[in-house]
Chains A and B, each alone.
Chain A
Amino acid sequence: MYWLMSIDTVIRIAFAMTFFFVIVPALALSRRETATVLERFFWNFGVGIILITLVGQIFTLANLFSIVTLLLTAGVIILLGRSADRGVPPWTLVKQSSETAFLAVLNIFDGRVNVRRRIRRRYRRTIAALRQKTDSRAVRLQLAGWIGVVGVAGGLRLYRPFASANLGFSDTYVHLYLLKLLEEGRQVDPQWGPYPRGMHFLLMSIHHLTNVDQILLMNFFGAFVGVLMTLAVADTARRLSRSVVAGLVAGFLFATLIGGASQYFVMGGAFATNDASLATSLAGLPYAEVPRAAGEFDFALTDFQRQTSTLSQELAIVLLFPAAMFLINFFRSRERWDLIGFAGCTAAIAAVHSGVVFPLILMCAVILLVLMIHRSLTPGTLRRVLLTGTVAVLIGSTWILGFIVYPYAGGKNLTSPQSSVGGTVLYYFPFVGKLIRPEGGAVTTDDTRVFVTLTPFLIACIVLAIALAVVSFRNRDNHRVNLLWISLLFVMFLIGHFASMLRLPQIVEQRRNSQWLIMSMTILIGVAIVEIGSFVRFIPTRRAVPAAASVLSLLLILWTIRVPRLTDPLIHDRIVNYSGWGGSALAVLNIERRFDPYTWTLVSYGQEFPMVLRRGFHLPAADFLDRYDPTLPVIPIPTPQIFVIVEKTPHPFQINTWSEKFSRAELEQRLQTWIHLYQATHRNLRVFLEDKNVRVYQIERTPEEVERASREARQ
């Protein structure tokens, strides 16, 4: 059953993404022939997300966000785009279209137009056009390559949500809660404060358009984002090197960089400690022997896990490299389309996750530096870019306006590092901690050094970067900018990776930095392989090219051998059962499908609270145990159904506020005892769902019992 729900969810999300970022733009804008499919997609994606966010912010203020307003907005965008394209006023276009439609209907009724024949003709022509386009063997191979990369990336990233209904990452539960708040028309979390809402508006749009289950949406959307990240990497490598091979290699490497023991050689380990000798000894241990208490020491695995979960940072990162590529293209072409693409992606990044604006700014700074080094900066472009970029960031950051209202709505003092927002800023950007000297209690990683390993793989990448930088000075065309840019970019992110260890100012927290470091590294490798290939062509031997191709194939095969199995317990436990047991989430899914809304109450440790919102009622296990005596004839909860989730194996994840009172294991033990006592005195208890970690009990009551429970609850 879960498989069917999952397939349904994947189809719905894919349809929504296609609708928002392919169909609507294709109907609204004339096709840009010079841009590739992926370039157009990322342009639409950036501009689309910021439009959805801006419109969403306005609609949600008045609680008007719904499928009606969503489709209306899409219609208005199509109408305005078409009328601008044809040079006629929108109203005239509406009148013309309606007249044409009416005439078409009359002609169809009159038999003058044979719809079936037209569909068949259109189908034949489409097939013929496709055949013509894929006539060349090279095109077919490229197509197969792209499909292969998407397939590999999708397969690996969809494994986690298909394997478990669990949301994957603890932050995803928070995002689900924020999504539910937005649906209530609340743009600011009363406890947390304002936050960037780009991803939430996109998720809400997908939900409204397709009615996809929100729990499943949160579980699967991250995998889509992971695939888009892979495509962003592949497309950037292709554009930088002007070679599809580079794109496919980079895409494949990124898609298959999972982490774990077999790929530990790539990034090595990362250990947060102030004891250098301890860090050295930990780094020297084999992967399986590194104590789990060392935390997220495998950055590659953490990054992969994040690529399978719904997280706003990863969504923003999708647009990071496309934004930079639009900027590089604008400096060359000075075309408005590229500038809008850059602005759209920048604004979308700011709207989705403000933290990702920092690497974008750094990337843009490197672009300017490279252009200046190679004297390729076109006069008059810099001012436009600076102005556009600033305006885009401001537009994307309109969520900050919430800070004006928040204090008047009972919000905390936001300037304090102790507040949620302040604490996050300090966590995310450790250098800020040094600037503002937080008073005690603020969350900051600045004090603890993070030791990372300089692996031979990274050394090889540094060598490649230096080589590419040198080659860039030998070239005379625009290509040199690309080579120098990706080299410097990789080195810059690598310095960030080692910043804590080298006691350098840490601009962005290391675990966040590692995601774009890996992206730049795989792009660098893809570009470098093509550059090496171009050197090989100059070797005056016929066998040089086949030999180089063979070496590349061998390397890829070797790499593929090192790709770990996702069913490996070390990886499976990490990516599938990281924040909770799948059985609990699956129980919620089954309950909400089987019973009418608001007719059931769920008792669980706590993480299921956002899943239950607006569907049923939730009671945290600690409160439930405090308030309800199992020997009472009727538990005074006024719903016909009560479900109690008991973890047979208590999950290690703990909610901080409760862990001070009880450990999760203690709570689960008490809950099981409560059930036993209830079972001894009642006959309406049965097991609703059970797997190896979780048992879900169902208490079913008669209408009379519910009536009595309602009376007692009122008293």
Chain B
Amino acid sequence: MTVLPVTHNAAIQQIGQTVIHRVGIPKDRWEITAQLEVLGYRDIDARERLGCRDLFEAADHILALFHAGELGFVPEGEDPVRRINPVLLFLRHYLAGLMFSLPMVLQGVTMLLWGYGLWGAIDLDVRTGSAIALGFIASYIVTSGFAWAVVSRGLFYFYQKEGGLARWSALRMWWISVRAAVVLAGPALLFNLIYRVLPMDLFFIALAYYLMLALFWLNWSLVYLVGKTHWMLAVLSVSIAAVIAAARILGWPVVASNMIGLLLADTLTFGVGLLGLNKWARNGSGKPEVNPPRFTVLVYTTAQVFLYGLLYSVFIFTDRILAWTGMRGREDFPPYPFWLNARYELGMDLALIVVVLLAGVVEYSTHQFSARLVPSQKRAKSAALQPFLDEFRRFYRRHTAVLCICAVVALVSAAAAIRALGHFPDPRLQESLASSTTVRVFWVAAISYAIFLFALQRVLMLMTLSRADLAVHAIATAVLTNIVVGFIISRSIHYSGSVFGLLAGSIALAVLAHRNLRRVLGELDYYYYAAY
């Protein structure tokens, strides 16, 4: 090692300080060399700017300076522990979870009170209702994977304090998603021409809803990404008000009124999302986008999350698709291959009460899991990991028990809600509520949703640890189970038997997710390390 001139010494001290800031106590020259390379230094820089032969010699100088105490180093302290009332904490996250399902609730309430929702109306004929249902399901399935990818990649860059890149990736993927959704309408049209799933007038209604709702879901993902989910409630309120005004005051037909509402909702949600992203790019998270990833890299890095999102929505809607394409035991005469059944839908909608009530609990558990990980890991000594593992096993058991209790409460509440709804002065509603199909579908779906949320809690914890592969595997198996069981029962016994597919799929998902998470928790130190 040679003695450096003063100018070079100052330069190496400055760079050395940067390196020590980033790596902490250096282990050896190799670690410092690697960090110099990460910072973009090359051998030629070492020669010209630092007066060293190469990066290794520069690393030796930095190591010597550190050992001489000339480079400042402050060990990282414990994270400050903010004491928050656990009840308040629970309520905060419960409300955040509830925010996902509030739009559904809002839609249901406005339908009951004023007869109109953002997509649909209580007086719609089954013919148009079938087209809307098809458009709704198709839009959800097509955009779900993209929405997950948008959020996942956007948050990835956001947490790296790359606000510009987060904006860029979110808007780029949003635009790709919009184009993909529009392009898919072409094959759908061709498919409908060949297979006549719906007559052309209904198909175009379905297509209109599909396009508007696809935009809506994608915009929703932007709003979620920038953490403005509460705005969704405001947007939905305004949009539904527009629908009601168009229908009641202007006397427009339901489809036209819905289109106005959806157009408004699409514009507003996109505005909220874009404003949030612009804010990220401007300040807060920092830099504008530099060297954005190639399209292939974007596809590769988001493939698993995309697949998970896609499978998730397929899982959610499989039973409805199977029921509405089934003919066995139908109370009506389905004239086309896809035909809405109000009794089945009512049973499923009422079962969603369980989801609404439990979503907040799952959100709370997932948040607590990720919030605890970093401080607990910092407290743990590498030679004694067992307390760390035990802590999370206890956490898992406790939250499982909480969820189970809440599930029972949710089921009882849903049953009570059904009983209360029976007194609602609508003969059609009362007739449907009295039908064995609705009752059967409600109970099976309610239990299925409770199990599904139990599974979802585990899946989200796996996703927190970046184990999207395990989540994909579990949900793929669940989707397959859902399809096979639902298809066989709905075709062989009764169309509403497709709900048993949902039950079987939920059980499969719960078992697999539970098994995977137990395995991960058994080696949480490794999985935690591998996750970040």
Are A62 and B492 touching (Cβ within 8 A)?
A: yes
Residue of A nearest to B197 (CB): A211
Q: Is A677 an interface residue (CB 8 A)?
A: no
Are B335 and A109 touching (Cβ within 8 A)?
A: no
The smallest C-beta distance from A455 to any residue of chain B, in angstroms, reads 50
Chain A residue numbers with a CB within 8 Å of B44 are none
The answer for the CA separation of A598 and B327 in the assembled complex, in Å, is 14
Chain B residue numbers with a CB within 8 Å of A598 are 333, 335
Chain B residue numbers with a CB within 8 Å of A66 are 491
Contact pick for B299, options A68, A109, A210, A211, CB 8 Å: A109
Are B333 and A62 touching (Cβ within 8 A)?
A: no
> How many residue pairs bridge A and B at CB < 8 Å?
36
Chain A residue numbers with a CB within 8 Å of B195 are 211
The answer for the CA separation of A597 and B336 in the assembled complex, in Å, is 8
Are B492 and A110 touching (Cβ within 8 A)?
A: no
Are A63 and B296 touching (Cβ within 8 A)?
A: no
Q: Is B312 an interface residue (CB 8 A)?
A: no
Q: Is B300 an interface residue (CB 8 A)?
A: yes
The answer for the CA separation of A369 and B491 in the assembled complex, in Å, is 51
Chain B residue numbers with a CB within 8 Å of A596 are 127, 199, 335
Chain B residue numbers with a CB within 8 Å of A68 are 487
Chain A residue numbers with a CB within 8 Å of B335 are 596-599
The answer for the CA separation of A596 and B333 in the assembled complex, in Å, is 11
- A106-B296, A110-B296 known; A63+B491 contact, CB < 8 A: yes
Q: Is B190 an interface residue (CB 8 A)?
A: no
The smallest C-beta distance from B292 to any residue of chain A, in angstroms, reads 15
Q: Is A192 an interface residue (CB 8 A)?
A: no
* CB contact list, A29-44 vs B, under 8 A: none
Q: Is A64 an interface residue (CB 8 A)?
A: yes
Chain B residue numbers with a CB within 8 Å of A662 are none
- A211-B196, A597-B333, A597-B336 known; A110+B488 contact, CB < 8 A: no
The smallest C-beta distance from A411 to any residue of chain B, in angstroms, reads 22
* CB contact list, A87-111 vs B, under 8 A: 102, 105-106, 109-110
Are B488 and A64 touching (Cβ within 8 A)?
A: yes
The answer for the CA separation of A102 and B302 in the assembled complex, in Å, is 13
Residue of B nearest to A62 (CB): B492
The answer for the CA separation of A110 and B488 in the assembled complex, in Å, is 42
Residue of A nearest to B303 (CB): A102
Chain B residue numbers with a CB within 8 Å of A109 are 295-296, 299
* Interface secondary structure of A, over-half rule: loop
Chain A residue numbers with a CB within 8 Å of B488 are 62, 64
The smallest C-beta distance from A220 to any residue of chain B, in angstroms, reads 17
Residue of B nearest to A66 (CB): B491
- A596-B199, A597-B333 known; A106+B492 contact, CB < 8 A: no
Are A106 and B299 touching (Cβ within 8 A)?
A: yes
The smallest C-beta distance from B466 to any residue of chain A, in angstroms, reads 19
Q: Is B27 an interface residue (CB 8 A)?
A: no
Chain B residue numbers with a CB within 8 Å of A210 are 194
The answer for the CA separation of A445 and B153 in the assembled complex, in Å, is 80
The answer for the CA separation of A105 and B299 in the assembled complex, in Å, is 10
Are B328 and A211 touching (Cβ within 8 A)?
A: no
Q: Is B294 an interface residue (CB 8 A)?
A: yes
Residue of B nearest to A598 (CB): B333
Are A110 and B295 touching (Cβ within 8 A)?
A: yes
The answer for the CA separation of A539 and B285 in the assembled complex, in Å, is 99
* Interface secondary structure of B, over-half rule: helix
User: CB-defined interface of A595-611 with B at 8 Å, one 1/0 digit per residue?
Assistant: 01111000000000000
Residue of B nearest to A596 (CB): B335
Are B491 and A64 touching (Cβ within 8 A)?
A: yes
Are A64 and B492 touching (Cβ within 8 A)?
A: yes
* CB contact list, A565-600 vs B, under 8 A: 596-599
Are A62 and B491 touching (Cβ within 8 A)?
A: yes
Are A64 and B487 touching (Cβ within 8 A)?
A: yes
Chain B residue numbers with a CB within 8 Å of A106 are 296, 299-300
- A596-B199, A596-B335, A597-B333 known; A63+B328 contact, CB < 8 A: yes
Residue of A nearest to B334 (CB): A597
* CB contact list, B444-492 vs A, under 8 A: 487-488, 491-492
The answer for the CA separation of A207 and B443 in the assembled complex, in Å, is 37
The answer for the CA separation of A106 and B127 in the assembled complex, in Å, is 42
* CB contact list, B260-308 vs A, under 8 A: 294-296, 299-300, 303
The answer for the CA separation of A63 and B336 in the assembled complex, in Å, is 18
* CB contact list, B71-129 vs A, under 8 A: 127
The answer for the CA separation of A109 and B293 in the assembled complex, in Å, is 13
* CB contact list, B335-366 vs A, under 8 A: 335-336
Residue of B nearest to A8 (CB): B194
User: CB-defined interface of B196-238 with A at 8 Å, one 1/0 digit per residue?
Assistant: 1001000000000000000000000000000000000000000
The smallest C-beta distance from A638 to any residue of chain B, in angstroms, reads 12
The smallest C-beta distance from A626 to any residue of chain B, in angstroms, reads 26
- A110-B295, A596-B199, A597-B333 known; A63+B194 contact, CB < 8 A: no
Chain B residue numbers with a CB within 8 Å of A599 are 335
Residue of A nearest to B294 (CB): A110
The smallest C-beta distance from B100 to any residue of chain A, in angstroms, reads 31
The answer for the CA separation of A105 and B196 in the assembled complex, in Å, is 31
The smallest C-beta distance from A710 to any residue of chain B, in angstroms, reads 14
Chain A residue numbers with a CB within 8 Å of B492 are 62-64
The answer for the CA separation of A336 and B475 in the assembled complex, in Å, is 44
The answer for the CA separation of A552 and B310 in the assembled complex, in Å, is 67
The answer for the CA separation of A63 and B493 in the assembled complex, in Å, is 9
Chain A residue numbers with a CB within 8 Å of B487 are 64, 68
Chain A residue numbers with a CB within 8 Å of B336 are 597
The smallest C-beta distance from A641 to any residue of chain B, in angstroms, reads 13
The answer for the CA separation of A210 and B196 in the assembled complex, in Å, is 11
Chain B residue numbers with a CB within 8 Å of A64 are 487-488, 491-492
The smallest C-beta distance from B456 to any residue of chain A, in angstroms, reads 26
Chain A residue numbers with a CB within 8 Å of B199 are 596
Chain B residue numbers with a CB within 8 Å of A105 are 299
Residue among B199, B336, B491, B492 facing the most chain A CB atoms (10 A cut-off): B491
Chain A residue numbers with a CB within 8 Å of B328 are 63
* CB contact list, A44-75 vs B, under 8 A: 62-64, 66, 68
User: CB-defined interface of A132-144 with B at 8 Å, one 1/0 digit per residue?
Assistant: 0000000000000
Residue of A nearest to B295 (CB): A109
Chain B residue numbers with a CB within 8 Å of A211 are 194-196
Chain A residue numbers with a CB within 8 Å of B300 are 106
Chain A residue numbers with a CB within 8 Å of B295 are 109-110
Residue of A nearest to B489 (CB): A62
Chain A residue numbers with a CB within 8 Å of B296 are 106, 109-110
* CB contact list, B161-181 vs A, under 8 A: none
Residue among B127, B196, B296 facing the most chain A CB atoms (10 A cut-off): B296
The smallest C-beta distance from A288 to any residue of chain B, in angstroms, reads 47
Chain A residue numbers with a CB within 8 Å of B196 are 211
The answer for the CA separation of A102 and B194 in the assembled complex, in Å, is 29
Chain B residue numbers with a CB within 8 Å of A110 are 294-296
Residue of A nearest to B127 (CB): A596
The answer for the CA separation of A211 and B258 in the assembled complex, in Å, is 33
The answer for the CA separation of A160 and B195 in the assembled complex, in Å, is 26
The smallest C-beta distance from B305 to any residue of chain A, in angstroms, reads 15
The answer for the CA separation of A62 and B497 in the assembled complex, in Å, is 14
The answer for the CA separation of A68 and B487 in the assembled complex, in Å, is 10
Chain A residue numbers with a CB within 8 Å of B491 are 62-64, 66
Residue of B nearest to A109 (CB): B296
Sampled A-B contacts (26; CB under 8 Å): A62-B488, A62-B492, A64-B487, A64-B491, A64-B492, A66-B491, A68-B487, A105-B299, A106-B296, A109-B295, A109-B296, A110-B294, A110-B295, A110-B296, A210-B194, A211-B194, A211-B195, A211-B196, A596-B127, A596-B199, A596-B335, A597-B333, A597-B335, A597-B336, A598-B333, A599-B335
4 A-B pairs with the lowest CB-CB distances in the bound complex, closest first: A597-B335, A110-B296, A62-B492, A211-B195
- Besides A63-B492, A64-B488, A598-B333, 19 new A-B residue pairs in contact (Cβ under 8 A), listed by A number: A62-B488, A63-B328, A63-B491, A64-B492, A66-B491, A102-B303, A106-B296, A106-B299, A106-B300, A109-B296, A109-B299, A110-B294, A211-B194, A211-B195, A211-B196, A596-B127, A596-B199, A598-B335, A599-B335
